[in-house]
Chain A
Amino acid sequence: MGDTANLLASVFLDTISYWWVIIPTIFLGLIVGGIPGFSAANTIIILMPLTLSMDLQTGLIFMVSLYSAARMGAGIPAILVNIPGTAGAAATPLDGYPMTRQGRGQQALAITFVSSSLGGLLTTVVALATMPILARVGFYMHSVEMIVVMLFGISLIASIAAQDMLKGLIAGFFGLMIGSIGTDVVYATPRGTMGFLELYDGVPLIPALVGLFAVSEAFIIIEKKVILTDEGQAAMANPSWSATFEGVSIALKRWVHIVWTSLIGLIIGVIPGAGASIASFVAYQQSRTFSKTPELYGTGHPEGLIAPESANNGVTSGTLVPLLVLGIPGGATAAIMLVVMQFHGVSFGPSLFERQPEVGYGMFMAMMVSYLLMILTILPLSRYMSRVTTVPTIYLAPMIISFTLVGAFVPREYMFDMFLALAFGVLGYIARRTGYHVAAILIGVILGPLLETYFLRALKKSQGDMSILFSSNIGNVLWVLLVLSLVLPPILKLKRKRRDRRLATLSGDYQ
Chain B
Amino acid sequence: MVIPVLAIVFTLYFFSTILNSPWTAQVSAFSLGSLLLLFCVIFVAKTVYQLRRGDGTLSFGNIVSRDDLASGRVGLFLATLGFTLLIDYLGFTLTTFLFLLVSMTILARGRGFMRITLVSALMALGGWAVFILAFDTRFPRGWFETTMKAVLANG
Contacts and interface: CB of A to CB of B under 8 A. Distances in A.
Q: Do A and B come from one complex?
A: yes
B22 A191 contact: no
Contacts of B10: 174, 177-178, 192
B49 interface: no
A415 B90 CA distance: 13
Contacts of B104: 394-395, 398
Contact of A187 (B24, B73, B77, B119): B24
Contacts of B43: 166-167, 170
Contact of B100 (A193, A402, A413, A459): A402
A436 B6 CA distance: 13
B53 to A, nearest CB: 17
A436 to B, nearest CB: 5
B105 to A, nearest CB: 9
Contacts of A395: 104, 119
Contact of A177 (B14, B24, B108): B14
A418 B84 contact: yes
Contacts of B77: 219
Interface in A463-481: 464
A177 B46 contact: no
Interface string A402-418: 11011001100101001
B16 to A, nearest CB: 9
Contacts of A464: 23
B84 A399 contact: no
Interface string B44-87: 00100000000000000011000000011100110111011001
B42 interface: yes
B142 interface: no
B36 A46 contact: no
A397 B32 contact: no
Contacts of A455: 27-28
B81 to A, nearest CB: 7
Contact of A430 (B3, B35, B103): B3
Contacts of A430: 2-3, 6, 63
Contacts of A181: 14
A406 B28 contact: no
Interface string A159-201: 0000000110111011011101100111101111110000000
Nearest to A456: B24
Contacts of B139: 406, 409-410
Contacts of A219: 73, 76-77
B88 A415 contact: yes
Interface of B: 2-4, 6-7, 10-11, 13-14, 17-18, 21-25, 27-29, 32-33, 35-36, 39-40, 42-43, 46, 62-63, 71-73, 76-77, 79-81, 83-84, 87-88, 92, 96, 99-100, 103-104, 107-108, 119, 123, 127, 131, 135-140
Interface of A: 43, 46-47, 166-167, 169-171, 173-174, 176-178, 180-181, 184-187, 189-194, 215, 218-219, 222-223, 393-395, 397-399, 401-403, 405-406, 409-410, 413, 415, 418-419, 422, 425, 427, 429-431, 433-434, 436, 448, 451-452, 455-456, 459-460, 464
19 contacts: A166-B39, A166-B42, A167-B3, A171-B3, A173-B36, A174-B10, A177-B14, A187-B24, A191-B14, A192-B14, A215-B80, A402-B83, A409-B140, A413-B138, A434-B62, A434-B63, A448-B32, A452-B28, A464-B23
Given A166-B43, A189-B24, A409-B139, 7 more contacts: A170-B3, A170-B7, A398-B99, A398-B104, A406-B96, A410-B139, A460-B24
